[in-house]
Amino acid sequence: MALLLAAPLALSLPALAAPAAAAEPQIALTGDISPAVGVSHRVGDLPAGQELHVAVPLKLRDTAGLDRFLAAVADRHSPEYGHYLTPAQFADRFGPTRQSFDQVSAYLRAKGLKVTGINGQAVDATGTTAQVTAAFAMPMGVYDRGGKRFYANDRNPVLPAGIAGLVQGVSGLNNFAVRQHDAQPAAPSGLGPAALRSIYDTDGIGADGSGQTVALWEFDGYKKSDISTYDQQFGLASSAPTTVSVDGANYDSSPGGGQAEVSLDIEIVQAMAPKATTLVYEAPNTDAGELDMANQIVKDNRAQVVSISWGLCEQDSTPSTMSSVDSAFKQGAAQGQSFFAASGDNGSKDCKHSDSGGSVVAVDFPASSPNVTGVGGTTLTVGSNNSYGSETVWNNSIGATGGGVSTVFSAPSWQTGVNGKRTVPDVASDGDPNTGYSVYTGGQWQVYGGTSCAAPMWAGWAALYNQKAKAKLGAGNAAIYGLKGNTFHDVTSGNNGDFKAGPGYDETTGWGSYDGTKLFNALNGSTSGNTVTVTNPGDQTTAVNGSVNLAVKATDSSSTAKLTYSASGLPAGLSIDSGTGVISGTATTQGVSSVTVTVTDDTQASGNTSFKWTVGNPPTGTVTVTNPGNQWAFKGYPLFQTLQLKATASDGGSVTFSATGLPPGLKISASGAVTGTPTAAGTFTVKATATEANGTSGSTTFTFTVYGF
């Protein structure tokens, strides 16, 4: 069916006539029309008396100089590295001038609008539809798209040349776009703080977030009682979060449908950095609200790290709004603030649940901004005793990690890009609700996943980094890409629809998830230290008694460095040549091995990569683990008797046991014996797994309640 494209009504033209001072040329801005206007039906004019809130961002000065400064301040080899600006210094060098703010404010007042303040780089104002229409010389209509009613400007704003030259755009002229949160629920259980810090290896940093502040970017509220329950359950002793209202928004007295999102953002940051201060910025879910929140966060400059779990596919926003918000991110980068944003939960077609439709290959904003670290999602396999196991691309019936190629932002200097455009995500962390996070929200325990959980995981790590590092992380993308995957868990299998994972960087999980301590050490090293990059050869399969000759390749940032190779976990009968990196021999024993190759140069800089090696046929048969029933114990007292788990393999083979979710203080042996003394009260969901040498496994889940006194 054909859609009618609206044109201005003839009757409205006299009201849109140029001001009396018509001698000054009138200039139309660009990028301020919602994409939805072109595919919707105009049903009428927006009532003249309706109150509107607009934010008018002004252009930055010396943008070329700003780009040079941002590159230098993030370059560990530059004398400007880590010499960040204060908000006042940024304003003096790159911000709009006081005279520019006064000119724009005076123009808006002259058109009848009420200027409510200057928020960072933008002038905020309110007025009726009639006043906004007069100020920007464009009609405001009501539109219908498939039953959804929204208002929007029919054409780009028009301003006198002297004002248009100062203004970057106008936000708040439509209410079509509503930012989505990416939290995805699953059945209760989930990973808690101790497990997350163990799996992703952050304890070696020796930090707890003390002295650090993390800002959370929210369009809904939370209940402090939920956060308190989470902290008490896990003994975190975290300080209560503080809400910062933007444009008068404060949802905490009656949180809406995004309450779980806000709760999990706070709780995951506190899980990773329990002593960090959390500031919850809450804004109206509008273009103007988003822009004002970005500007307030950088203007306040209270938080060194910002976590963003809300976003829109780029096609649902206006270029002007995205560009204006990115200008605020640039200021944050100049000030040493780190931004981490979820890449979305709809795979390579990020508009799936928006009005742009599920057939559009798209990425999520703000993750697509080059001044933000976009965070994708994985499906996590946990090793024994909460060690790191492996990760694949998250893509199942619940959702999939967002990623792909931006249509708005050019590829920055530190990224290869595709056809000159920026690609996302940059990094990743666990995002699958089936392997998700324990969250207390709405008065009950739940398990959540989504890239909105992965973003605060990275924000929490950044808080730990900043506490102990020689200099703040700041806009970390250049440094992260400089490592070329070293210290990351490279995710090499899976896809998000249109993009596939592979060795090194890809548009599904970026460089992968962090090994927290190793990443800290790599980024906090001396500015002249070497970087060793090991190329992942991909998972290997070899027949029993098959011969092997596999060359693992590595490079060093120093062309004169000498490399030494070593390997752990090689299948029986194989060895690695320490000088060439060639793995050779005869694979004698059937089984599945997790192999890690480490390459060290003569300055002791090192890198590594891990992959799976299967010897023999793929796993067959079944393993059945007998459920022991629900268990109980008392905090501080040894188990009354050893809990012995049992399992049988259909082919009669022997098995090795592992478990996740055990109460703190308990452990499981390879033979399935659970022993120890519980150190924390609570109810824990335990997943016990038995695995044969050939990789066949089975599992069972039961509840373990520890009573306190």
Nearest to 6 by CA among 146, 151, 103: 151
3-state secondary structure of 171: strand
For 642, the token pair is 């050893």
Phi, psi (rounded to 5 degrees) for 697 = -145, 160
The answer to whether residue 452 is catalytic is yes
Cα–Cα distance between 473 and 401 in angstroms, integer? 25
Question: What length is written for the chain?
Answer: 709
Helices (H) and strands (E) in the chain, counts: 13, 44
Say whether pLDDT at 180 is over 90: no
pLDDT score of 182:
59
Q: Detail the DSSP E strand segments found in 283-394.
A: 305-308, 310-313, 338-342, 364-365, 373-382, 388-393
For 160, the token pair is 């006198």
Cα–Cα distance between 45 and 51 in angstroms, integer? 14
Mean pLDDT of 282-290: 95
Nearest to 554 by CA among 576, 572, 524, 586: 576
Nearest to 544 by CA among 567, 574, 522, 517: 574
CB contact at 8 A, 300 and 17: no
Mean pLDDT of 345-351: 92
User: Cis before residue 319, ω within 30 degrees of 0?
Assistant: no
For 676, the token pair is 């120890």
Range from 29-43, 89-103, 547-561 that averages highest in pLDDT: 89-103
Secondary structure element (H or E) that encloses residue 572, with its range? none
3-state secondary structure of 223: coil
Cα–Cα distance between 205 and 467 in angstroms, integer? 9
pLDDT score of 651:
81
Q: Which amino acid type is present at position 692?
A: E
pLDDT digits (tens, 9 = 90+) for 640-699: 888 999 999 888 888 999 999 999 999 999 999 999 999 888 889 999 999 887 778 899
User: Cis before residue 188, ω within 30 degrees of 0?
Assistant: no
With a threshold of 0.85, does the pTM exceed it? no
Range from 9-18, 184-193, 357-366, 370-379 that averages highest in pLDDT: 370-379
Q: How confident is the model at residue 184 (pLDDT cuts 50, 70, 90)?
A: low
Q: How confident is the model at residue 590 (pLDDT cuts 50, 70, 90)?
A: confident
Is residue 407 packed enough to be buried (19+ CB in 10 Å), middle (13-18) or exposed (0-12)?
A: middle
Is residue 671 packed enough to be buried (19+ CB in 10 Å), middle (13-18) or exposed (0-12)?
A: exposed
CB contact at 8 A, 342 and 375: yes
Secondary structure element (H or E) that encloses residue 204, with its range? none
pLDDT digits (tens, 9 = 90+) for 49-76: 999 999 999 999 999 999 999 999 998 7
Cα–Cα distance between 654 and 659 in angstroms, integer? 17
pLDDT digits (tens, 9 = 90+) for 488-520: 999 999 999 999 999 999 999 999 999 999 999
pLDDT digits (tens, 9 = 90+) for 529-561: 578 889 999 989 999 999 999 999 999 887 777
Cα–Cα distance between 58 and 108 in angstroms, integer? 13
CA 218 to chain CA centroid, nearest Å: 14
Cα–Cα distance between 318 and 32 in angstroms, integer? 6
Say whether pLDDT at 376 is over 60: yes
3-state secondary structure of 107: helix
Percent of the chain with pLDDT over 70: 94
DSSP character for 86?
P
In SS3 terms, 536-560 reads as: CCCCEEECCCEEEEEECCEEECCCC
CA angle 656, 661, 665 (to 5 degrees): 90
pLDDT score of 531:
81
pLDDT score of 23:
66
Say whether pLDDT at 587 is over 80: yes
Cα–Cα distance between 61 and 96 in angstroms, integer? 6
**Count of other CB atoms within 10 angstroms of residue 376:** 35
Cα–Cα distance between 423 and 433 in angstroms, integer? 25
Domains contained in the chain, CATH given: 10-60+95-164 (no CATH), 180-523 (3.40.50.200), 532-615 (2.60.40.10), 623-707 (2.60.40.10)
pLDDT digits (tens, 9 = 90+) for 432-484: 999 999 999 999 999 999 999 999 999 999 999 999 998 999 999 999 999 98
The answer to whether residue 261 is catalytic is yes
For 177, the token pair is 């776009």
Say whether pLDDT at 304 is over 60: yes
Q: In whole angstroms, how far apart are CA 342 and each of 133, 159, 229, 480? A: 36, 36, 26, 17
For 515, the token pair is 């090994």
pLDDT score of 677:
92
pLDDT digits (tens, 9 = 90+) for 394-437: 999 999 999 999 999 999 999 999 999 999 999 999 999 999 99
Cα–Cα distance between 99 and 116 in angstroms, integer? 17
**Count of other CB atoms within 10 angstroms of residue 92:** 12
pLDDT score of 352:
81
Provide the b/e sequence for 542-568 (b: ≥16 CB within 10 Å): beeeeebebebebbbebeebebebebe
Mean pLDDT of 224-253: 95
Mean pLDDT of 293-306: 97
Residue 397: CB partners within 8 Å, gap ≥ 6?
none
CB contact at 8 A, 456 and 264: yes
Provide the b/e sequence for 327-353 (b: ≥16 CB within 10 Å): bbbbbbbbbbbbbbbbbbbbbbbbbbe
Q: Which amino acid type is present at position 82?
A: G
Find the catalytic residue in 124, 261, 287, 364. Answer: 261
Nearest to 174 by CA among 27, 315, 272, 54: 54
pLDDT score of 271:
97
Q: How confident is the model at residue 17 (pLDDT cuts 50, 70, 90)?
A: very low
pLDDT score of 692:
83
Angle at which helices 516-523 and 451-468 cross, to 10° = 50
Percent of the chain with pLDDT over 90: 74
Range with lowest mean pLDDT among 300-304, 374-378, 639-643: 639-643
Say whether pLDDT at 528 is over 70: no
Cα–Cα distance between 242 and 647 in angstroms, integer? 49
pLDDT score of 20:
47
Residue 1: CB partners within 8 Å, gap ≥ 6?
none
Across all residues in the chain, what is the average pLDDT? Answer: 90
CA angle 678, 684, 688 (to 5 degrees): 95
The answer to whether residue 359 is catalytic is no
Nearest to 474 by CA among 80, 54, 125: 80
Phi, psi (rounded to 5 degrees) for 101 = -60, -40
Mean pLDDT of 6-28: 50
Find the catalytic residue in 452, 513, 610, 697. Answer: 452
Maximal CA-CA distance, the chain: 93
CB contact at 8 A, 553 and 577: no
pLDDT score of 681:
87
Range with lowest mean pLDDT among 319-323, 328-332, 601-605, 694-698: 601-605
Find the catalytic residue in 182, 218, 265, 287. Answer: 265
pLDDT digits (tens, 9 = 90+) for 245-279: 999 999 999 999 999 999 999 999 999 999 999 99
